Amino acid sequence: MSDSLVVQGGTPLSGTVAVGGAKNAALKHMVAALMAPGRHQIENVPEILDVEIMGRVLEHVGALCRRDGKTLTIDVPEHPIPEAPLELVRQMRASILVLGALLARTGEARVALPGGDDFGSRPIDFHIEGLEAMGATFDLRHGVLYGAAPDGLVGTDVFLEFPSVGATENLLLAAVLAKGVTTIGNAAREPELVDLAQYLGSMGAKIDGAGTSTIEIHGVEGLTAASHRTVPDRLEAGTYLVAAAMTAGTVTVSDCRPEHLRMELRKLTAAGCEITTSATSVTLTGPERPVALDISTLPYPGFHTDMHPQMVTLLSVAEGTSLVTENIYAGRFRYLGELNRMGAEIHADGQHVVIRGVTQLSGCEVDACDIRAGAALTIAALRAEGETVIRDAHHLDRGYDGWVPKLASLGADIRRV
């Protein structure tokens, strides 16, 4: 039986919490390490389950991973095994990135099709089309994608239909060792992608324009192993800020990059929160009752899809009716039923969520169905009257390093059973 979290609601959070390195950057760095043989060192790596799973993917490929606190040392062999097995890939979608990395390094890749959070369909057609334009061929047999580029990948112009983060990253990895110049148009602009480009840059890759919509990559013959420090986790930071807002508390989130949370901070301000920032911290005081507002999730620098469940939870107790439109993953609404069991009045229609604010939530037994849903339900529980039991807490272990101790240090009455 999986662990549960037991939360007694009603205590305003207060104090300071430090955020760690970004999950969505560290996982990509681990794959990027495969691009250069030798010893890599990645610092500020969160101690979460997804990093462990990615470590197993790397070990399958022939790399050795060692963790010392928040530092990960990865020894990458001269000739990686170009294969990622189903039992690992199905647990974590980020592993699809090995496709671009292994094709570039070895000219072949056998990758089981990915799983990950249950958000309905999460296609990889943009990844495949881009890699095909660079000269790779693909064949899907028995759930395994066989990729080949025996003569190496060749740089070209790729224009993405949507600024997909995963597709941009996969093409970036493929392009750094391709022959000639690759241009990725309509590229994702996320801070984690910029961080990945910086790490590849310290290995010797030639990348211009990361963080803008057009990335130009000049392929090089080979890369050398390097060290890198992972960018702070803007989603972890944002989650603690919403938790503070929900409990009408005052919390400082330190070791973060407020400029990566501009849209999220704007919306929290509109909800009635008082916010001050320094270069590396955000202090938020939550209102007694939030103000209703409308939000649309969009690619960066828009409001992040991975902050949607937390924000819907905050708006569930707002004064008035809010509308949240999910433009990235319309399938991520399973947690709404659980929030409604706690007394929220929310309904989804297509990609839209209508939230009629209620004055109070009440604790009961709920199921976390993915990482951010688990965070959202914990946030609801922190304000709810009475006790909430959040089952399937292992989902939180995938994305939040020290979720329970960090919340407890802010005064939350929370324990794991």
Sites for ligand UD1 among residues 267-286 (CB under 6 A): none
Q: Does 126 bind ligand UD1 (CB under 6 A)?
A: yes
Contacts made by residues 358-363, CB under 8 angstroms, sequence distance 24+: 358/316, 358/317, 359/289, 359/317, 360/317, 360/384, 360/385, 361/9, 361/316, 361/317, 361/385, 362/386, 363/7, 363/8, 363/9, 363/387, 363/388, 363/389
Residue whose C-beta lies closest to ligand UD1:
166
- Cα(174)–Cα(266) distance, rounded to whole angstroms? 36
First and final CA of the chain: distance in angstroms? 11
- Cα(30)–Cα(162) distance, rounded to whole angstroms? 25
Q: Which of 28/383 has CB closer to ligand UD1?
A: 28
Binding residue (CB under 6 A) for ligand UD1 from 125, 208, 274, 319: 125
Binding residue (CB under 6 A) for ligand UD1 from 21, 46, 100, 299: 299
- Could you tell me if 172 and 126 are in contact, meaning their C-beta atoms sit under 8 angstroms apart? no
Sites for ligand UD1 among residues 168-227 (CB under 6 A): 190
Q: Does 159 bind ligand UD1 (CB under 6 A)?
A: no
At closest approach, how far in Å is the CB of 237 from ligand UD1? Answer: 14
Q: Does 306 bind ligand UD1 (CB under 6 A)?
A: yes
- Cα(194)–Cα(200) distance, rounded to whole angstroms? 10
- Could you tell me if 92 and 114 are in contact, meaning their C-beta atoms sit under 8 angstroms apart? yes
Q: Does 29 bind ligand UD1 (CB under 6 A)?
A: no
DSSP 318: S
117 is catalytic: yes
At closest approach, how far in Å is the CB of 27 from ligand UD1? Answer: 9
At closest approach, how far in Å is the CB of 121 from ligand UD1? Answer: 7
Q: Which of 40/93 has CB closer to ligand UD1?
A: 93
Q: Which of 116, 407, 392 is nearest to 241 (CA)?
A: 407
- Could you tell me if 185 and 159 are in contact, meaning their C-beta atoms sit under 8 angstroms apart? yes
Binding residue (CB under 6 A) for ligand UD1 from 4, 24, 95, 316: 24
At closest approach, how far in Å is the CB of 50 from ligand UD1? Answer: 10
Tokens encoding 84: 């990622």
Which range, of 12-20, 59-67, 79-87, 116-124, touches ligand UD1 by CB under 6 A? 116-124
Write the burial class of residue 279 (CB in 10 Å: 0-12 exposed, 13-18 middle, 19+ buried): exposed
Binding residue (CB under 6 A) for ligand UD1 from 91, 182, 247, 305: 305
Alpha carbons within 13 angstroms on the beta-carbon side of residue 321 total 7
At closest approach, how far in Å is the CB of 271 from ligand UD1? Answer: 21
Active-site choice (50, 117, 367, 370): 117
Q: Which of 228/372 has CB closer to ligand UD1?
A: 372
- Cα(267)–Cα(396) distance, rounded to whole angstroms? 24
Contact residues: ligand UD1, CB under 6 A: 24, 122-127, 162, 164-167, 190, 299, 304-306, 328-329
Catalytic site positions = 117
